[in-house]
Structures are given as C-alpha cells and as structure tokens.
C-alpha cells in the first residue's frame, strides 16, 4: 500500500470534509471534529513544530490519553517525516527516561500538568529533551521552565506560517513514502530495558487494511478509544484503522466515565482485553445477586436458554423452532436490555486479545448475541496475525492466519510468523533484531502453540516459560504457568495469579482476589472486613479460593499434556500486584521473575510445607511516596486428582 498516514488524512478531508472524524466528550458534552477540521489542525501543528525546530527523522514523545489534539500532534509529526513515540500516561517518570534517551528525543507532547511535571522531573537525566508542548493549561500558569510552551501558542505560530506558505504543508506530506518509519512503540519490558519496535507506514497500514477487510469494516463504524495510545492494540484500532477506513473515533471524557460514555456512543466495533470483559460481567453478576427473587429467576432461566443455543445461533447453526422462540423472547426481556446496559447494543464485531479468555466468559457474551472473537498478534507484528471468522469463534483458539500471513511451528513448539506487518527492527539493537528475525523473513514470536485440525492456532504459553515438573509423582510432566494462571483467572473472584513449578516437585500459586467481587460476596454473607489485606486473609475467602483451585485441578486432570500441572498449594497475597511496584508491566502482564525474587520467602514457605508466613512489602503510592504493608499469610493445601487417561 503506497500511502502514509498524513496522505490518508488529506484524502478523507478532500472526499468528505464535513463528515465527523473524531468526537471527544468535554464537560459532559460530545463535540465533533470533522475531517477537514482535523486536517487543518494537523497542518497548523505541523507548521508550528517546524518553526520550533522538529526535523525529518527525529523522534517526538507523545504522552497522554486519547484526544483529537494528541492524534493531530502524531499526524503533524509524521507529516514532517518525524517519528512519534507514544508513552504510557500512567508510567512514572523513571520509566520514561530510557525511551527518551534511547531515541535521542528533543521534543515531547504532554497532555496536562501531570505529564509536564513528570517530564520536568526527569529532564536533568534526559540531556536532549529541550522542548515540551502541553495541551491543557490548567495548573501551568506560573510555569516558566525553558522550552515549555502551550499547544495553543504552537498552533497560532503555525497558522500564521501556513497563511503565508499555503503549499508548504502538502509538499512536506508528499516527501514521505510508505517505506518510511511511521512510529515507534516500546515493548513492556518484562525483562530488562524495553525495546523500541520500529514500524513503517506500510507495515502498520497493511495490517490495518487486512483486519478491516477480514471484518468488512466501513466508514460507518463507531469506535471508543479508551485504552492507552502507547499500546499498539489501541493504536491500530483507533489510529491506523481509523485513517484506513475513515470511521469515527470517540474519546471518553476520563477513565472514570468510560462505562457511561460506552453506553452513550454505542460502538459498532469494539476491542478490550479479557480483564475489561471480566469486570463488566462481574458487575452484572453482582447486580443480579442483589436483585429480587423474580428477576433473578428470570435471568437464570433465560441465561440457561442462551447458553444452550446462543453460541450455535451465532455460528449460524440450526437451533429448532421452540428454542428459537424462547431465545427471541429472552432477547426482548433479557439479552437486549443487558446488551444495552453493557453499552453493546450496536456492536457488530467485538475483539479480545492479550490474554486467554475463559470459556464461560467467552460463551456468555456470544450467547447473549455479542459477536465476540479473539485475535492474535503483538507489537512486533502490528497486531493482526490471526483472527476468528464470525462463525468459527472458539474460546480455545486465537483464529486463522489473516491475509498475507504464514505460520509454521518450530521443533521446540515455537510459533514462527511471516507477515507484511513485521517490525523493521528494534531501534539501536541489532542483536535483539537478529534474535527474532531470520534471514529469510520469519519472526520468532516466543509463543509456544500448534495449529489444530481446523486450521486454528492454539497458544499454550511463552516458550521460555514452558517447563517440567521434577522430583514428584508428576516427574517430567509439562508445566505451562500462563495456562494454569489463566484457568484460575477465569473465576470472577480471582483477579491475578502467579504460578511456580518449573524444576520443582509440585505447582504452587500466588493469588490476588478481585476486591469488588469478593467484597460483594463477603457483604452478602455478613462477613466484615477492614480493607483488601484483611479480606484476603479471611478463612472463608481461603475456602472460596480453594474451591476454585480444585475445580481447575479437576479440569487439568483430564488434559493429557498438563495433568501434572495441578496446583498443590496456594496463598492469597496481602496486596494487589501493581505496575507502580514493578510487579506488572504497563500492559498488566505479570513479571513472574521479578515477583519470584521479591516474594522469595513466600515461595520458600509454600515449598517447605509451612502453614503460614509473615511478609512485609514496600509499596509506592500514587503521589510518589513509599510505605509498607505487612501481614502473616495463611498457606492452603489443595486436592489434586489422578490423571484421566484418554480413551483408546
């Protein structure tokens, strides 16, 4: 595809200038920005950045939430041939130092005072960082730091320049080609420093188009952009596909209003990690448990109908006249209002990715008429590697290779990918690039899996994390920690899990409870608690979690490969795992090795057969202060089951 992001913007502005390109909610009111308006804004910002000294080939950091002016700044940088680098807005200052220095960044866009403070705090450690442009002026009136300027000032200077040099902007846009670098995304850095993933206009737009063609996306779609722009998944859905398809991207007012805004927008194309779908379902179940007896009975009856026939109906299979009538009645009385409550009344395609999603959760959404599907991809592949067709959506696979993708499985079980969407390189890291890209164009995903009989890809775990149980009754059995963790996270009472067992005689896990779900469960049983730490250590909560663990063990016992991964012992952590404490990445992936070192006394206690262990942990608060939380944690034993041999 011989085009670039700014060229696509100008094409939409020329073909349908008055059509809405983006909407943002401000002070409770949705405000639309037309394609022509966005193009003009991008031109003025680009001219302003040019006058400020941003050069072709330079990197520019962008930090903030999804906003039209943030997207316009990224487009403006690309129009000049510069390369935007979106960073996570919830990252602490220290996490921004490496990306800024690694990319020799001079220019930064900061959404508000919080982001400006963060950048000013680390400025002495970032020798190249000279110019910081902020969007929202609130709280910044008395800031007079050198190089700090408002976006409004930049736009005004750019506007004056554009009025005198009317052809300059389009000439600059015309200088870039599809093979030029378009953006750089830093990996989450589960081990060591993050790596800068370099993508061209072509790699990003090719995959955006492939995904759009697969699901027949058009300019009439409505999308809600609420996940971090620094995550390539959000960037593809609300930036690359936005410009490729020309649909409308809606920006919520704030993180706290996302659910309200979701209902108001009624997106037709929706994406969320399993954690979001889990949270929505947990909220529904909590509300139903608090509902009256008649309403609960009706909900249970129609959900029974939905689970029996809903997935088959979504997959286009016949369900019979009686079941069709019951489902139609349920749609009027239950499923339709429920979809509306969730904000999914207009959803045509809903995707989830990033982690495995529980079969029950997956079935729930498809059974009530939401076309939920899974996809597989990564930052290095520009997201779209595998997608699920509408009538072949299954909880245990991640779909079939999308247009242009080839997949093969290495001898060690690793998935290798060849695709037009592969990264150009890891920035300034030829060694890491050579490790993942072969001379003949295959990308090493580091994921272990296989392609099943129907052509769908199944992912087991990360290759490096797949281990073996040693020294016990399951000696030599495969151990896939993420697989075990995800099976436990399918329960609404469990938010996070960290599993250990490689080269050990049994599997043991740390558990984070879902505070809202377990809190509601406790309140309905008149079980008092004084916060997360207190609730987590209640004997009744341990029994609840034990039941979940033993259900997982029963499931694992019938799995030929993973029967030896059953969980023998567990404990409930005294605090929630947190990215600010280094325990999770900014994309909420568990940093298993870091957690293992930090909580080594707990691991030792689990494997030493202890029944309790004292732990004190340093934590960071949102305002930057440090504190500590301590508790004596109970350790529970679980029932394991004899492996069930497959029938001959």
The DSSP string of 18-72 is TSEEEEEEETTEEEEEEHHHHHHHHHHHHHHHHHHT--TT-EEEEESSS-HHHHH
Q: Which phi and psi angles does 245 have, rounded to 5°?
A: -95, -30
Pick from 268, 265, 238, 234: nearest CA to 252: 265
Pick from 199, 198, 216: nearest CA to 403: 216
Are residues 353 and 270 in contact, defined by beta-carbon separation less than 8 angstroms? no
Pick from 271, 222, 226: nearest CA to 248: 222
Q: What angle do CA 558, 563, 568 make, to 5 degrees?
A: 120
First vs last C-alpha separation in the chain:
52
Residue ranges of the chain that CATH labels 3.30.300.30: 466-637
The mean pLDDT value for 414-422 works out to 97
- Does the pLDDT value for residue 440 go beyond 80? yes
pLDDT on residue 158: 98
What is the edge-to-edge ordering of all strands in the sheet holding 196-200? 181-186, 196-200, 425-426
Please, where are the H alpha helices in 190-231? 201-214
Pick from 386, 398, 380: nearest CA to 441: 380
pLDDT on residue 627: 86
Long-range contacts (CB closer than 8 Å, 24 or more residues apart) made by 537-540? 537/572, 537/574, 537/631, 537/632, 537/633, 537/634, 539/634
The mean pLDDT value for 215-239 works out to 95
Give kind and range of the element (H or E) at residue 363.
helix 359-367
pLDDT on residue 624: 67
Residue-wise pLDDT tens digits, 507-566: 999 999 999 989 999 998 999 999 999 999 999 999 999 999 999 999 899 877 788 889
Are residues 411 and 390 in contact, defined by beta-carbon separation less than 8 angstroms? no
Provide the pLDDT confidence category of residue 365 given band limits of 50, 70 and 90. very high
pTM attached to this predicted model:
0.83
Residue-wise pLDDT tens digits, 271-330: 998 888 888 888 888 888 788 888 889 998 999 999 999 988 988 888 889 999 999 999
CATH architecture of 466-637: 2-Layer Sandwich (3.30)
Which CATH superfamily is 5-193 part of?
A: ANL, N-terminal domain (3.40.50.12780)
Provide the pLDDT confidence category of residue 170 given band limits of 50, 70 and 90. very high
Residue ranges of the chain that CATH labels 3.40.50.12780: 5-193
Residue-wise pLDDT tens digits, 52-82: 999 999 999 999 999 999 999 999 999 999 9
pLDDT on residue 647: 43
């Amino acid at each position: 595809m011989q085009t670039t992001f700014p060229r696509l913007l100008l094409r939409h502005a020329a073909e349908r200038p008055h059509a809405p390109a983006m909407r943002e909610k401000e002070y409770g009111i949705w405000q639309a920005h037309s394609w022509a308006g966005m193009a003009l804004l991008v031109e003025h910002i680009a001219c302003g950045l040019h006058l400020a000294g941003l050069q072709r080939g330079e990197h520019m950091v962008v930090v903030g939430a999804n906003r039209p002016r943030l997207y316009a700044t990224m487009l403006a940088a690309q129009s000049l041939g510069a390369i935007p680098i979106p960073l996570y807005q919830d990252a602490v200052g220290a996490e921004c130092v490496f990306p800024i220095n690694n990319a020799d960044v001079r220019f930064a866009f900061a959404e508000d005072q919080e982001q400006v403070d963060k950048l000013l705090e680390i400025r002495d450690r970032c020798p190249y960082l000279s110019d910081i442009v902020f969007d929202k002026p609130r709280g910044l009136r008395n800031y007079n730091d050198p190089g700090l300027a408002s976006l409004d000032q930049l736009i005004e200077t750019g506007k004056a320049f554009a009025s005198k040099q009317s052809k300059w902007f389009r000439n600059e846009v015309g200088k870039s080609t599809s093979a030029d670098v378009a953006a750089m995304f830093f990996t989450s850095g589960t081990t060591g420093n993050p790596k800068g993933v370099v993508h061209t206009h072509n790699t990003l737009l090719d995959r955006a188009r492939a995904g759009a063609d697969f699901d027949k996306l058009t300019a009439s779609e409505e999308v809600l952009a609420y996940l971090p722009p620094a995550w390539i998944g959000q960037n593809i859905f609300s930036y690359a596909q936005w410009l490729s398809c020309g649909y409308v991207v809606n920006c919520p007012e704030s993180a706290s209003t996302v659910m309200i805004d979701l209902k108001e927008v009624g997106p037709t194309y929706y994406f969320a990690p399993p954690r979001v779908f889990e949270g929505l379902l947990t909220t529904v179940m909590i509300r139903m448990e608090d509902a009256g007896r008649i309403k609960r009975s009706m909900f249970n009856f129609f959900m029974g109908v939905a689970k029996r026939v809903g997935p088959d109906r979504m997959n286009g299979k016949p369900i019979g006249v009686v079941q069709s009538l019951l489902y139609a009645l349920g749609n009027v009385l239950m499923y339709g209002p429920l979809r509306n409550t969730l904000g999914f009344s207009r959803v045509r395609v809903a995707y989830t990715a990033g982690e495995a999603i529980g079969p029950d959760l997956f079935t729930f959404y498809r059974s009530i008429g939401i076309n939920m599907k899974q996809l597989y991809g990564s930052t290095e592949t520009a997201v779209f590697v595998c997608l699920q067709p509408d009538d072949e959506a299954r909880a245990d696979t991640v779909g079939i290779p999308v247009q242009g993708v080839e997949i093969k499985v290495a001898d060690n079980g690793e998935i290798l990918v060849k695709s037009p969407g592969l990264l150009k390189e890891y920035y300034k890291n030829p060694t890491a690039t050579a490790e993942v890209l072969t001379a003949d164009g295959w990308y090493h995903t580091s994921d272990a899996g296989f392609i099943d009989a129907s052509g769908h890809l199944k992912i087991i775990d990360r290759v490096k994390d797949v281990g073996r149980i040693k020294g016990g009754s399951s000696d030599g059995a495969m151990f896939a920690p993420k697989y075990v963790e995800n099976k436990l996270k399918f329960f609404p009472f469990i938010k996070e899990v960290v599993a250990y067992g490689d080269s050990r005689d049994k599997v043991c896990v740390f558990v984070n409870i879902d505070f809202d779900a377990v809190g509601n469960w406790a309140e309905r049983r008149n079980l008092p608690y004084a916060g997360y730490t207190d609730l987590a250590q209640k004997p009744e909560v341990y029994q609840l979690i034990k039941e979940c663990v033993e259900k997982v063990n029963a499931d694992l016992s019938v799995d030929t490969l993973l029967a030896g991964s059953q969980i023998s012992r567990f404990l409930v952590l005294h605090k929630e795992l947190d990215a600010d404490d280094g325990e999770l990445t900014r994309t909420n992936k568990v940093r298993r090795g870091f957690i293992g070192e930090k909580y080594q006394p707990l691991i030792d206690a689990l494997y030493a057969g202890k029944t309790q262990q004292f732990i004190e942990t340093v934590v960071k608060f949102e305002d930057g202060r440090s504190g500590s939380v301590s508790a004596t944690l109970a350790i529970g034993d679980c029932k394991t089951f004899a492996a069930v041999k497959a029938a001959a």
